[in-house]
Amino acid sequence: MQLLQTLAELNDWRREQVGRPLHFVPTMGSLHQGHRQLLQRACAAVPAGRPAVLLSVFVNPLQFGPAEDFDRYPRDLAADAALGEAAGAEALFAPSVQELYPGGEAQLTGVVPPAALRQSLCGPGRPGHFEGVATVVCRLLALVRPDRLLLGEKDWQQLTILRRVVADLALPLTVQGCATVREADGLACSSRHRYLSASERDQAAALPAALGAARTRWRDGTASAALLTASVRHDLEAAGLAVEYVQLVQPSTLSPVASAAGGLFLLAAAARCGSTRLIDHLFLMNRPPIVAIDGPAGAGKSTVTRAFARHLGLLYLDTGAMYRALTWWVLHQGVDPADAAAIAPLLDGLDLQLESDAAGEQRVRVNGQDVSEPIRGPEVTAAVSTVAAHACVRAALTGQQRAMGQRGGLVAEGRDIGTAVFPEAECKVFLTATVAERARRRAADLAQRGFAVPPLAELEAQIAERDRLDSTRAEAPLRQAADAVELVTDGLGIDAVIQRLVDLFRERVPEDAWPGPGTP
């Protein structure tokens, strides 16, 4: 592993990595198993290829208060280099304070994160801390110019603030949070554990234990923030820890809340064990997450959503297939797709089932008959918007979809999922593509399925008309939810779209709350 200590050495190394994605793990050194996992995750291949992984070690004076532990913060560059190399880092950037801040603090342009994100948790007790963190990270990002920045979820407030800074400054990179790594007794890994004596180390385990006990109380029905935080405080003080704060907040805004009922919440605490400051948290989520993926027809929702759901260990709900299946049934019965009065009786007793086959592919059955292939034909495609626009159809299928989603733990895609079916979804994405791109994909799909392929101009006209019908229908029209993120898939391969969906999901649902299959 290369050791880089000057900006010139860093620039030379960067030039050698041209054409490779660059993943960056910034640290203050004194590396532990949490850092090891960050580096191992950084080494994972992405759609753009196998990345170059850069580790940095810099004890940043800007983020330490006057009475804090800057001078005694543990430093062992040789040990850090050994761990970094073993975990897969290709280079270690370890600049001096003079190299990173050549004009000194007085000449430095500072970065001030939003005040709202600094008013709770560690913010009040550490004035200036997050300004120092944001300033040094922005300085490092400007020098390194990575494609992906990996940070631990253990420092949740820091991760949230840096995500916001990157978004507000429109920096061209992805921030990836990785699950908290814990020691055998549940204590979250921290460089400052080296300060603890043997007896203090045993005492410190009271912090995760107190949070865990509060989660048990929450599962038993205690949702009050006052009661939950008081119970944690009581347990910490009983163990002899000096409590700095215990708070229940909304994870993305860090705003205190009065109750942990109906949503995702962060219960966090900070306490001192002797002279050592400890922080920890856990998430309270009263059902597995729901992801709502809306967008126009032909944007590739079904293909990527199915793989995305498997990646996160969530169920795949193809609501578009449900409308197609009903349309097939309407046509099969010889009923006019525009005749709502004639369609309504067909909904009574309709048995519509979605299931996965041995290969993980979704099969669709109508009254016991497998219609997975026929519903993708041009006849159904031409009629589905007309059928789906009827109020009786929307009410019947929306009711079925909501019933499927009561337990959560699913990815649903369609054209009104985030607005009409699951407005409470934790993550909403409006997946779209240009009309020309969707026509090209439709032609390829028809050819693959053995159907006649109309001219592209005709397909574009059909798609544009379908968009018009979907977006102007009276019942649940196609539109982007106010809190949905638009993802335009033109020019993106399937793997790249899936990766982008995973990144969007993780901005809203941390690994600590929903690990997913295969998450360390």
What is the C-alpha separation between 18 and 496, in angstroms, rounded? 20
Q: Is the dihedral of CA 14, 17, 23, 27 positive or negative?
A: negative
- The one catalytic residue in 23, 35, 281, 390 is 35
Sort 42 into a burial class: Cβ within 10 Å, 0-12 / 13-18 / 19+: buried
SS3 360: coil
Query: Is 23 annotated in the active site?
Result: no
**Beta strand segments in 94-168, E:** 148-152
Task: Enter the DSSP assignment of 417.
Answer: I
> Checking phi first, is residue 349 left (phi over 0); if not, alpha (psi -120 to 50) or beta?
left
In the block, which residue shows the tokens 């219960």? Answer: 267
167: its two tokens: 């978004």
Integer CA distances (angstroms), 309 to 1, 84, 221, 433, in order:
37, 33, 30, 21
Instruction: Please state the φ and ψ torsions of residue 175, each to the nearest 5 degrees.
Output: -100, 120
Q: What does the alpha-carbon distance between residue 149 and residue 173 come to, in Å, rounded to a whole number?
A: 7
Rounded CA separation 85/36 (Å): 10
Point out which residues pair with 411 in neighbouring strands.
291, 316
Residue 340 CA to residue 199 CA, distance in Å, equals 74
Q: Catalytic residues, which ones?
A: 35
